[in-house]
Structure 1
Amino acid sequence: MAANRYRLQIHGVSSDLHATNNAYKYIGNWTPVNRDEGFTLKAPFLKATSTNALKLFSAGMDLRGPGVLVRLSPTSAVAVGTRIRRSLQGNAISASLLTQAVTGFSTPGRWRNSSFNLNSNAFAEWDLTYGRVIIQQNQHLLKAGVTLKRMMGQGAAYLQGREVAYELTQEAYRKGGDSTLVLEHLQGSYAVANAEAQRDFDLAKAIQWLTGRGTSGQGWGADLGVVYEFDPVADPPSTSETGNQVGASYKWRVAVSLNDVGSVNYNRRAIAYDNFELNDQAVSKEDITGVYLTNFDSKLNSALPLASLNSRNHLSTGLPTAFNCDLDYAFNRHLYLNAGLSQGIKGRYSRGMRQFSYASLTPRFESKWLGVAFPFSFVNNYQQLNCGIALRIGSATIGTNNMAALFSKQDPRGFNVYSELTLLRLEGKRVAH
């Protein structure tokens, strides 16, 4: 944003919806363009992958609301923005345990050395960003920026099992009553803050979240980044047509950043049971099937002897910290090739939202009124290849990183769609290299 061509930019709204996993392919007939078939994620419409590696999944929403950027000088700018994020994620899930959950715990047997880490998070934020040119010398331009985030936590929950051994019985006979599952050993943690936040969501609730009403937690976060641009042309570059401080004004650009450093602390409507151990705990089938975001807290209260465990009335969850590196190369004024890497740096059993690592390669065409990009990305910790498309007309953008899932039936493992709209851009003179 430093050395931006715009002296004023007003952002309208952008959204990013996604669902992904590395465990199952959807084999039903429903697609976003063929919705007459009806959509369900029941076992008959899911095909398991053949590997026994640990599984992961993520489904969520990233909504950026109104924001404004103001150029303070030819070499510096400041921006204020708003954002709402919600997610349901799982990682470090044993393949056999996930299979049992999908099929309704219907296969008798005994399993050892299982694990899982489930997290649900919902929060809003206000962001303040400052960027400026650090070095400007001949063909070289170095810029840096920092974003400070005020986090307003709406709700969070996590359920973890580091060491899990369980038996599925063929009939209700063991350890009491209607027991179907016996937790022979569970070393885990469970916490929830404001379970209601995980349920219904609409525009009224979004406004409520951004104004800080009804929050059950607060926190701080930050982004840090630097950008280097190289322009072999010694003369002042031509004005960019892309809306960035780049366009034909550089031959190549490298950006490095550390994003979402911070946490949210919940001390209202919160309870946490950390590092507990259970042995020979009987669980009925009713308590382990039909679990959704609308009832997970009551299900767990019924399934586990929480009243007998030590608890505290506060909890903390981390932001999805990730290291990002981006290389952009300009062949000419309109054709570019971008290579990106995002490495999540959260631990296997970290509590909170996480960024699954990915790498991407994106050729694109840019002009003043039209932009087209074709991202190829290895997602879900570099395990799956997705192909997408993005289209920009004027200040409106729409795209997907998983085109096959939206427009064809190819047994997808998820979907993704995003959009962005900028309301106003006022140009001004821009810094020259």
Structure 2
Amino acid sequence: MKTSLLTAALFMLTTVRYVVAQQIPGLQFSNYGGLYRATYNPSVLGGPRHKFQVNILTLGGSIKYRYFRFIGENSFLYPVLAAHSTEELYGRSRTMGSLTYKDPIFLTGEIRWPSASFALGKYHGVAIQLRTRGFVQGRNIPAAIDNLYIKRLDTGSTPPVSNESWGDFSLVQQSFSDLSFSWGGQLLDIEGHKLRVGATVKRVFGARVAYLKGNADRYSINPVGNDPEISQLEIDRLVYESGYSTPNRRMSVGNLFDSGKYGSGWAYDLGFSYELGAVWKDRKEVYNDSPDYFVRLAGSLTDIGSVKYKTSDSKVVTGSHNDVVIRQTELETISDRGPEGFMSLFPGDSGTAFAQTVRLPQALHLEADVQVFHGFFLNLSQTSRFKSRSGRPLDMYVPNTFIITPRFEDEDSGLSFPISFIQGNNRPSIGLAGHFGPVFLGFSNVNGLMKSGGARGSMMYIGFTAWKAYRKKDKD
């Protein structure tokens, strides 16, 4: 296929534990990933396989089996919506799924707006991309409280819990957009050896953070009166700090660039890839420009930077309460309105301004990609959090993840089966990603879409793209 066109995109909701904005399952390793691989490793733009590529719209997030039961009553993009809407966020978020087992919690959603990459001759390429990302991070949220959030307190589905210990906890929602410019170049092109490097510069804008952190002595979930259908959450000796960089407000493009209303910052990505061998060179058709390497080694650093908040309408409140009671109405108020809702229900001391620097989800990626036979690859990759800071619950992060990905690929289509080993999970996640002409659809954990595997969710991406291949006959 020389050119492919995008038509539409799907809108859904998600929540995820412990995985930050994962790259698109499978496509971050593909030789034909183009724009989608460039956010993982910008060196892919060197020696480009596309004359141009256009992403019109791509949506990503995590879901679980409940999504398909309540489709139409939820949203893929809850972590992004939370900064700009309070409409039914509680209901929307209940179909989100965690990518990790139990603690910690991480929710994510992503929009890849119209973006494009262009080849600058045989050895160089550039890309301009616009993305919006949102995260919800939670640490030490007890399983019983997570369960009552899903099951509700007015359905009789929440089992009682008596006098359980708790401790320190945090729940943080963040979202931001970034406009990036990427360059990739091929520095070495001889038979059996190809070296590519790349770099990306990002301007981060429209950033917002809202959080609740504190310490709770003990908690219980008890029925109310004689009605077995109604329960309430009771917390003993709660000490908390709650804040936001800017109030929840409707989306306005002009406001996103106003440093008095939203946070901003700069970031960069760096990457390289080295292809060794030319094993499959003689097994290709004359106009086939597919890779002939035996092994590709690559590494990258992504999102190296931070967001600075010096907003004028921020607020931080501290407080303590000996006996806190939360019923379904209060639960929905907190879920829909976040820290603002919590402050309205449990007032604290006079507020102060929020002014901090928060790190982006900095990550180190290493990979080895082996071409087992022509068109079939086995990829081994490791993603690690880069330069973490202890005691900083507002810092965004990525999980330590090891992924094994068998895949088939050519210019027009591809199929991959990523197997992810995420730190803290009790078993691996087996995914499936397909790329067929202009359409791709990917899941990181197929079992998470089934009720039996509902303890964890699945990252899902859906998108459409258009491109024109960079062929040998075009060069000649």
- Structure 1 residue 365: Cα displacement: 1.1
Task: Say which SS state the counterpart of residue 46 (structure 2) adopts.
Answer: coil
Alpha-carbon contact 1:341-1:360 (below 8 Å) kept = yes
Counterpart AA for 2:398: Q
Alignment-derived partner of residue 344 in structure 2: 302
Q: Which runs of 5+ in 1 are unaligned?
A: 21-25, 173-178
Contact preservation (8 Å) 1:63, 1:83: yes
Residue 283 (str. 1) matches residue 324 (str. 2): yes
Alpha-carbon shift at residue 402 of structure 1 (Å): 1.8
The yes-or-no answer on 1:2 pairing with 2:54 is: no
Deviations 1:209-261 (A, max 9, x none): 8974796221112112121211245979969999xx8x432111122111112
Deviation at 1:134, TM superposition (A): 3.6
- C-alpha offsets along residues 340-393 of structure 1, whole Å, 9 cap, x if unaligned? 222234446431433233221111111232211112112364544221211111
1:121 paired to 2:166:
no
1:367 to 404, 407, 410: 410
Q: Are 1:56 and 1:91, in contact at CA under 8 Å, matched by a contact in 2?
A: yes
Q: CA RMSD in A?
A: 4.1
Instruction: Give the SS at the match of 2:104.
Output: strand
Partner of residue 329 from structure 1, selected from 370, 375, 379: 370
Change (3 A) 1:88 1:387: same
Q: Specify the alignment match of 1:165 in structure 2.
A: 217
Shift of residue 333, structure 1, vs aligned partner: 2.1
| TM-score normalized by the length of structure 1 | 0.75
The equivalent position to 2:457 in structure 1, one of 414, 420, 423, is 414
Please tell me whether the aligned partners of residues 415 and 433 of structure 2 are also in contact (alpha carbons under 8 angstroms).
yes
Residue deviations 1:44-102 (CA, integer Å, cap 9, x gap): x99xx9xxx97122333111121121222422221111101122221343556656766
Distance 1:54 1:181 in 2: 22
Cα separation, 1, equivalents of 2:180 and 2:446: 31
- Structure 1 residue 4: deviation in Å? 0.9
1:171 shift after superposition: 11
Tell me whether 323-332 or 214-223 shows the greater mean CA deviation.
214-223
Report matched runs for 1:232-271 at 5 Å: 232-233=278-279, 247-268=290-311, 270-271=313-314
2:244 and 2:62 map into 1 onto residues whose CA distance is: 23
Give the superposition deviation at 1:429.
5.2
CA distance in 2, matches of 1:241, 1:300: 63
Q: Which of 119, 122, 129 is 1:81 aligned to? A: 129
CA distance in 1, matches of 2:200, 2:57: 19
User: In structure 1, what is the Cα distance between the partners aligned to 2:195 and 2:201?
Assistant: 21
Alpha-carbon deviation of 1:265? Answer: 2.2
- Kept in 2, the 8 Å contact 1:240–1:249? The answer is no
Deviation string 1:245-290 (CA, Å, 9 cap, x unpaired) is 8x4321111221111122222333543538x6x5554434358633
Query: TM-score of the superposition, structure 2-length normalised?
Result: 0.69
**Are positions 1:216 and 2:259 aligned together?**
no
8 Å CA contact 1:319–1:352 kept in 2: the answer is yes
Matched residue, 1:23: none
Kept in 2: contact 1:273–1:312 (CA 8 A): yes
Map 1:70-149 onto structure 2 (within 5 A): 70-95=118-143, 98=146, 110=163, 112=165, 114-136=167-189, 138-149=191-202
Q: 2:59 matched to 1:59? A: no
Q: Please list the CA deviations of residues 154-203 of structure 1 after superposition, one character each: whole Å capped at 9, or x if unmatched.
A: 42212223x4424659899xxxxxx98455363x5432133425xx8xxx
Q: What is the alpha-carbon distance in structure 1 between the residues aligned to residue 346 and residue 67 of structure 2?
A: 38
Q: Which one of 16, 25, 45 corresponds to residue 60 of structure 2?
A: 16
Is 1:192 aligned to residue 244 of structure 2? yes
Q: Which residue of 2 aligns with 1:391?
A: 434
- Counterpart of 2:340 in structure 1: which amino acid? S
Distance 1:385 1:181, change over 3 A: same
CA distance in 2, matches of 1:169, 1:409: 25
Shift of 1:327: 1.6
* Structure 2: distance between partners of 1:70 and 1:377: 32
Using the aligned pairs only, state the percent identity. Answer: 21
Instruction: Name the one with the larger strand percent.
Output: 1
- What is the number of residues matched between the two proteins? 393
Whole-Å Cα distance in 1 between the matches of residues 222 and 113 of structure 2?
A: 52
SS at match of 1:290: helix
Deviations 1:99-134 (A, max 9, x none): 676675995755556122211112111011111124
2:117 aligned partner, one-letter code: L
User: Do 1:145 and 1:226's aligned partners in 2 also have CA atoms closer than 8 Å?
Assistant: yes
- Counterpart CA distance in 1 for 2:255 and 2:461 is 21
Q: For 1:157, give the aligned amino acid.
A: A
